[in-house]
């Protein structure tokens, strides 16, 4: 039913536009124009960009339905990409879309964006019955899901939602995902000349080493992880390091486990610096809470029915990463994450099967139709 040539052409066009996190202005303007041309009744841009230091806010568009009494469906995708995302040169060969290897591809998340736009076009061009729709294109999803965290929630009124932003063929959906906390641990020591009077110093890097040996790392259990991802400290080899900062994250699909692990981390840090002559300052940032949808949640019911009609197998997964859906669920809109085929995302080896691009659009359209039919 979808226009495959249009979908492919639009995907190539969108990934060719640089869209770094907090620099989504060009993409935001283009999508706003697209939504207006497709007949949006209202288009809002919130102040998330200003709050985060970016140049574009989240875009929320409302489309009036043609079927009374149908639930309002929210379709979401994010505009930004990880680096390097400038001068992406996509190509299609043997049914697989890739970049030229010098950049990412940007299927994360332009595959989701394209599926939503094609759904809207099909509804309009073929006068397909549907209920009210909310379209949300977020900023700053990469690096912390910050755009949806700063979303103006007064704009939301959907009954259920789908975030098009994960791996897997059409029919794959994440019904459960972890929450995440970040900890920036700054060790404060005392500087001294490393050659003349090292005993007068208190080496923050050495204390940081004790911290790294003391804190839990890696996979804690099947749904809980912890990682140190960044370390910086010292000024020169002839100076006893006065400061050192460690950046950790904790994740779990269980909120109790997440909170317990985060506290365990903080306790381990404070215990490890004892006797080093250094002190530890811990800055805790709670990024998002975990979510879990029951098997009979409405987004999953409609997904199953739509996928069955298309002959797509449904695969429900427990994710290891967060997405905008974490925040949408916290805002009271039950939302599942749909697979759009992205593979090896966040790397220069990222790829996308051409068929997955089309299937994601077909399934999104079918879900919207199913909601209207089963109102």
Q: What is the CATH number of the domain that holds 190?
A: 3.30.70.360
Whether 49 and 119 map to the same domain: the answer is yes
**How many angstroms from the chain centroid is the CA of residue 9?**
24
**How many angstroms from the chain centroid is the CA of residue 369?**
26
Whether 232 and 252 map to the same domain: the answer is yes
Number of domains in the chain: 2
Whether 34 and 11 map to the same domain: the answer is yes
Range of the domain at 262: 179-288
DSSP symbol at 313 = P
pLDDT by residue for the chain (375 residues), tens only, comes to 899 999 999 999 999 999 999 999 999 999 999 999 999 999 999 999 999 999 999 999 999 999 999 999 999 999 999 999 999 999 999 999 999 999 999 999 999 999 999 999 999 999 999 999 999 999 999 988 999 999 999 999 999 999 999 999 999 999 999 999 999 999 999 999 999 999 999 999 999 999 999 999 999 999 999 999 999 999 999 999 999 999 999 999 999 999 999 999 999 999 999 999 999 999 999 999 999 999 899 999 999 999 999 999 999 999 888 999 999 999 999 999 999 999 999 999 999 999 999 999 999 999 999 999 976
* C-alpha distances out from residue 270 to 260, 265, 280, Å: 16, 9, 6
Whether 260 and 361 map to the same domain: the answer is no
Whether 323 and 253 map to the same domain: the answer is no
Last residue of a domain, one of 267, 288, 309: 288
Whether 302 and 155 map to the same domain: the answer is yes
Last residue of a domain, one of 288, 322, 349: 288
pLDDT confidence of residue 375: 65
Choosing from 23, 45, 80, 165, the catalytic residue is 80
Whether 141 and 192 map to the same domain: the answer is no
Whether 257 and 297 map to the same domain: the answer is no
Bond into 214 cis (ω within 30): no
84-96 as b/e, with b when 16 or more CB fall inside 10 Å? ebeebebeeeeee
80 is catalytic: yes
Whether 276 and 296 map to the same domain: the answer is no
Whether 280 and 234 map to the same domain: the answer is yes
Measured CA to CA, the distance from residue 138 to residue 149 in angstroms comes to 10
Last residue of a domain, one of 273, 288, 303: 288
141 is catalytic: yes
* Residues in a beta bridge with 248: 183, 228
Whether 125 and 261 map to the same domain: the answer is no
Measured CA to CA, the distance from residue 185 to residue 282 in angstroms comes to 5
Measured CA to CA, the distance from residue 186 to residue 244 in angstroms comes to 6
Choosing from 141, 324, 356, 362, the catalytic residue is 141
Contact 76, 328 (CB under 8 A): yes
Whether 156 and 64 map to the same domain: the answer is yes
What CATH number is given to the structural domain containing 27? 3.40.630.10
């Amino acid at each position: 039913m979808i226009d495959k040539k249009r979908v492919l052409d639009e995907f190539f066009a969108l990934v060719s536009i640089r869209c770094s996190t907090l620099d989504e202005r060009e993409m935001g303007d283009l999508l706003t124009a697209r939504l207006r041309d497709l007949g949006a009744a209202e288009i809002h841009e919130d102040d998330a960009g200003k709050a985060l230091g970016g140049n574009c806010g989240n875009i929320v568009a409302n489309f009036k339905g043609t079927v009374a009494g149908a639930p309002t469906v929210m379709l979401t995708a994010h505009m930004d990409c990880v680096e390097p995302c400038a001068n992406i040169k996509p190509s299609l060969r043997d049914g697989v879309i890739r970049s030229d290897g010098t950049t990412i591809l940007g299927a994360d998340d332009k595959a989701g964006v394209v599926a939503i736009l094609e759904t809207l076009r099909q509804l309009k061009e073929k006068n397909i019955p549907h209920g009210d729709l909310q379209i949300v294109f977020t900023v700053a999803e990469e690096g912390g899901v910050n755009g949806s965290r700063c979303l103006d929630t007064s704009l939301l009124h959907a009954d259920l939602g789908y975030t098009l932003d994960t791996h897997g063929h059409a029919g794959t959906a994440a019904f459960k995902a972890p929450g995440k906390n970040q900890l920036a641990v700054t060790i404060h020591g005392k500087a001294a000349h490393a050659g003349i009077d090292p005993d007068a110093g208190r080496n923050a890097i050495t204390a940081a080493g004790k911290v790294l040996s003391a804190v839990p790392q890696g996979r804690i259990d099947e749904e809980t992880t912890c990682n140190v991802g960044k370390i910086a400290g010292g000024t020169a080899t002839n100076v006893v390091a006065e400061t050192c900062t460690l950046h950790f994250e904790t994740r779990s699909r269980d909120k109790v486990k997440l909170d317990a692990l985060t506290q365990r981390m903080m306790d381990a840090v404070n215990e490890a610096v004892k006797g080093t002559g250094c002190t530890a300052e811990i800055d805790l940032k709670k990024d998002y809470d975990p979510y879990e949808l029951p098997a009979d949640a409405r987004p999953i019911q409609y997904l199953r029915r739509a996928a069955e009609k298309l002959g797509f197998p449904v695969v429900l997964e427990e994710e290891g990463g967060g997405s905008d859906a974490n925040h949408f669920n916290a805002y009271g809109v039950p939302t599942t994450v749909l697979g759009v085929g992205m593979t090896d995302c966040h790397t220069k080896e990222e790829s996308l099967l051409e068929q997955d691009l089309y299937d994601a659009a077909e399934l999104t359209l079918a879900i919207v139709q199913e909601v209207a039919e089963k109102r």
